[in-house]
Amino acid sequence: MSAFSRKLNLPPLYSILDPDQTRGRSSPEVLHQLLDGGVRLLQLRAKSLTSREFLRLAVEARELTRLANCRLVINDRLDVALACGADGVHLGQEDLPLQGARKLVREKIIGISTHDVAQARQAERDGADYIGFGPMFGTQTKDTGYAARGVTMLAEIRQAVKLPIVAIGGITEANAREVWQAGADSVAIISDILSASEIAIKVERILSLYPAS
């Protein structure tokens, strides 16, 4: 188990900024709105950008998130995470193995995408700091190759591991509360937020739905 996994506290919203989903708005503009709305953990995903473009955006995102006291996680690209000084990296099942990544980033957060109990338990054994779990519902944002998991399987994952869980896939303002109540520590929402005309207000509304402890 990693040094982070016992103490990593995730905010209720795990925001993902993907330049392909911003509806023509610039990534810095959208990022400002996300932070203004109260986002305190942001993943930067940029699969269509060149490495140079991704790094440039990551460096800018690092500067803005640091000012807002928001943690920054880079999707897939460990090299970009290291180069921009991000707080961590999120890896999929087909990316660099977690144990190899940990040798390179001992003091950074590492999250792992999982889709079933076996993968979740393996991520915990290997020392992940948190797991992503999904797709929760049908989603057009990313083709994971997996059918929708639903809240019943999320509850099973919650019982199987002690790691913080970020639920992802088809989550919206309308169903976020249901996902939190099923055991997610945080919900990752992409299209429902990035398609909003007033992103900051959308973020504020979603955060206001989080059940009081």
Is 113 noted as a catalytic residue in this protein?
A: yes
213 lies in some domain: no
Residue 5 falls within a domain, yes or no?
no
The yes-or-no answer on residue 71 being catalytic is: no
Whether residue 94 is contained in a domain is answered as yes
**Alpha-carbon distance 30 to 24, whole Å?**
10
Mean pLDDT confidence for 178-193: 97
Q: Which of 62, 102, 142, 202 is labelled catalytic?
A: 142
Residue 71: inside a domain: yes
Cβ count within 10 A of residue 126 = 16
pLDDT band of 2, cuts 50, 70, 90: very low
Task: Report pLDDT digits (tens) over 111-139.
Answer: 999 999 999 999 999 999 999 999 999 76
Active site residue 158: no
SS3 104: helix
Is residue 84 within 8 Å of residue 104, measured between CB atoms? no
71, β-bridge pairs: 41
Of 5, 113, 186, 191, the catalytic one is 113
If you search the block for the tokens 């087909």, which residue do you land on? 94
Do 167 and 189 contact (CB within 8 A), yes or no? no
The closest alpha carbon to 164, from 102, 116, 120, belongs to 120
* DSSP result, 7-74: TPPPPSEEEEE-GGGSTT--HHHHHHHHHHHT--EEEE--TTS-HHHHHHHHHHHHHHHHHTT-EEEE
Does residue 195 sit within a domain? Answer: yes
The angle, 0 to 180 degrees and rounded to 10, between the axes of the packed helices 27-37 and 51-67 is 30
The pLDDT-based confidence of 6 (bands split at 50, 70, 90) is very low
Whether 88 and 66 have beta carbons less than 8 Å apart is answered as no
**CA end-to-end span of the chain:** 27
Tell whether the model's pLDDT for residue 141 goes beyond 90: no
Catalytic hit among 15, 40, 45, 62 = 45
Residue 173 lies in a domain: yes
Is the confidence at residue 194, as pLDDT, over 60?
yes
Q: Which of 125, 123, 122, 121 is nearest to 110 (CA)?
A: 123
Q: What does the pLDDT look like over 19-73, one tens digit per residue?
A: 999 999 999 999 999 999 999 999 999 999 999 999 999 999 999 999 999 999 9
Q: Is the pLDDT of residue 142 over 90?
A: no
% of the chain at pLDDT higher than 70: 93
Q: Sorting pLDDT into bands at 50, 70 and 90, what band is 3? A: very low
35 is a domain residue: yes
Q: How many folded domains does the chain comprise? A: 1
Residue 55 lies in a domain: yes
Q: Which of 10, 12, 5 is nearest to 189 (CA)?
A: 12
For residue 109, what are the domain limits? 13-208
User: Residue 70 belongs to a domain with what CATH number?
Assistant: 3.20.20.70
* pTM, two decimal places: 0.93
Percent of the chain clearing pLDDT 90 (strictly above): 88
